[in-house]
Amino acid sequence: MVLGVGTVLVIIGAGLAVGLSALGAGIGVGIAGAAAAGVTAVDPDKFGMSLVFQALPQTQGIYGLLIAILLLMSTGVLGGTPEDIPVAVGLAALGVGIAVGFSGLSAIGQGIAASNGVAVAGRDRSAIGKGLVFSVLPETQAIYGLLVAILLMAFTGMFTGVYTIADAVGFAAIGCGLAIGLAGLSAIGQGITAGAGIVASARKPEVMGRALIFAVMSETFAIFGLLIAILIMFGIGLIGGA
């Protein structure tokens, strides 16, 4: 089997997508699972509730797996007939992998928040809802990365197989991936704040609104990354251009 450079770049992009996001999900699940194990040791009846919190950071790994499969399907690798993918599209695939891979590391922050959530809910079942609300906040960065990844795949022709972009556009797509991927690491800070917010709102329910404001502050930097990624796509003509 002879693979072109473009196809190899797409395969590397798929590896980045699932590898980095799975790394983040594994660490996040481990952090939450450590707290869940402690709660279950004290009260085995809370195993189901603990499992829910531990499962939250797994979704980032699923996003990475989804994008990796889509990338491999676009090359024909999964179909058994690898296509001759242009280098420009291969570079764009690297951007896709970077976007969803690095933003998938947001699972670390989610694991931090979920560990506090399961610990508090272990002591007070009425705090489960609040714990879940705070614990899902750091996942939005991964959703931003997934959005940018899908947009890049759609506008570079990966879904249709019609490739018209130049090499320069492929390099620009890598810039899009770096913007949203690295900005998505802000979820780690958000997870730290969200975890503290869970504890604070459990002690004093009336402070939940203010605690949510503190928790979402870190997300503004991910929004900056999303904004720049979309502006790059507009600037190079992927969106709204010829």
Which domains occur in the chain, in start order?
Answer: 5-235 (1.20.120.610)
126: DSSP letter: G
E strand or H helix at 240: none
Amino acid 84: pLDDT: 81
**Mean pLDDT, residues 50-77:** 93
pLDDT band, residue 161 (cuts 50/70/90)? confident
Amino acid 31: pLDDT: 96
Q: Whole-structure pTM over 0.85, yes or no?
A: yes
Q: Is pLDDT of 40 > 90? A: yes
pLDDT band, residue 80 (cuts 50/70/90)? low
Structure tokens at 23: 């790394």
**Mean pLDDT, residues 150-167:** 90
Q: Would you list the DSSP string of 149-211?
A: HHHHHHHTTTTT------HHHHHHHHHHHHHHHHHTTHHHHHHHHHHHHHHHHHH-GGGHHHH
CA 63 – CA 54 distance, rounded (Å): 17
Beta-carbon count within 10 A of 55 CB: 14
Structure tokens at 40: 């279950």
**Mean pLDDT, residues 216-227:** 94
**SS3 state at 141:** helix
Amino acid 95: pLDDT: 97
Amino acid 242: pLDDT: 53
pLDDT band, residue 78 (cuts 50/70/90)? confident
The phi, psi pair for 163, rounded to 5°, reads -105, 120
**Which stretch of 29-33, 115-119, 230-234, 237-241 has the lowest confidence by average pLDDT?**
237-241
CA 55 – CA 63 distance, rounded (Å): 14
Amino acid 17: pLDDT: 97
Terminal C-alpha separation, the chain: 36
pLDDT band, residue 76 (cuts 50/70/90)? confident
**Mean pLDDT, residues 38-63:** 94
CA 36 – CA 159 distance, rounded (Å): 41
Amino acid 20: pLDDT: 97
Q: Would you list the DSSP string of 114-129?
A: HHHHHHHHHH-GGGHH
Q: Would you list the DSSP string of 7-43?
A: HHHHHHHHHHHHHHHHHHHHHHHHHHHHHHHHHHHH-
Q: What is the pLDDT of residues 171-218, one digit of tens each?
A: 999 999 999 999 999 999 999 999 999 999 988 989 999 999 999 998
CA 137 – CA 142 distance, rounded (Å): 10
Amino acid 164: pLDDT: 85
Mean pLDDT of the chain: 92
Could you tell me how far CA 55 lies from the centroid of its own chain?
15
